[in-house]
Structure 1
């Protein structure tokens, strides 16, 4: 049985981890290991531990950076750490961040957080179980959370 890791944060204002788990369970039967850490800068090591210590074959790292410039810097640092953890483990860690200033209000922000978590969960399923499906979507302007923008070739 495939093992999928989910790591999310207490800092986020929406339970993206539960949305991701729910979405994955709708498509495949897999063992899901979920852990929650305080903030986004904790995501890289938690993801790496899920891979190395729990045998996860892919991990979703979900977080919500705040709107302040300091938060954007922390998000960049977390992203860099996630990339480094991917390279160190040769394993996909799908970063799913929703910045607090991406939504025009709390309703849109909650909508975005849920949709982005669910759409990336489907990407995780495809990467692990049906990678050929992603090949068919190459160049089609897919966007997670908001509406897809489409291909430049129609």
Structure 2
């Protein structure tokens, strides 16, 4: 049985991890290992530990960078760490960040955080269980959390 790791943060203003777990359970039977850390810079090591110590086949790393310049720098550092952890473990870590300033209101932000979390949970399911589904979507302009933009291909 495949194991999916889910790591989220207390800094986020929406429970992104619960949305991901719920979405995965609706589509496949998999073990789910969930960990919560304080902030986005804690995501890389938590993700790596889920892979190495809990034998996760894939990890979904969820975070909400704030709207200040320092938050954008921290998000970049966390993203770089997640990429490094992927390369060190040879496993996918799906980064799901929703920046606080991506939405105009708290209601829009909550909607975006839930939608993006759930859509990336489906991407994780496809990566592990139905990779041919991703091949079918190649070049189709998919946007997690927003409307898809469509293909410009011929």
**The TM-score by the shorter chain falls in which range?**
over 0.9
Q: Which residue of 1 aligns with 2:21?
A: 21
The yes-or-no answer on 1:52 pairing with 2:58 is: no
**Rounded Cα–Cα distance in structure 1 between residues aligned with 2:96 and 2:61:** 6
Deviations 1:38-78 (Å, cap 9, x if unpaired)? 00000000000000000000000000000000000000000
The aligned length equals 154
**Rounded Cα–Cα distance in structure 2 between residues aligned with 1:109 and 1:13:** 9
Q: Which residue of 1 aligns with 2:138?
A: 138
CA RMSD, aligned part only? 0.6
Structure 1 spans left out of the alignment, 5+ residues? none
The yes-or-no answer on 1:3 pairing with 2:6 is: no
Q: Which residue of 1 aligns with 2:147?
A: 147
Structure 2 spans left out of the alignment, 5+ residues? none
**Rounded Cα–Cα distance in structure 2 between residues aligned with 1:53 and 1:33:** 11
1:16-95, aligned counterparts within 5 Å? Answer: 16-95=16-95
**Rounded Cα–Cα distance in structure 1 between residues aligned with 2:124 and 2:7:** 13
Deviations 1:95-152 (Å, cap 9, x if unpaired)? 0000000001111100000000000000000000000100000000000001000001
Question: Displacement, 1:153?
Answer: 2.9
**Rounded Cα–Cα distance in structure 2 between residues aligned with 1:138 and 1:30:** 25
- Runs of 4+ displaced beyond 6 Å: none
- Give the TM-score normalised by the residue count of structure 1: 0.99
**Rounded Cα–Cα distance in structure 2 between residues aligned with 1:109 and 1:139:** 27
**Rounded Cα–Cα distance in structure 1 between residues aligned with 2:104 and 2:129:** 35
- Give the TM-score normalised by the residue count of structure 2: 0.99
Q: Which residue of 2 aligns with 1:102?
A: 102
**SS in structure 2 of the partner of residue 11 of structure 1:** coil
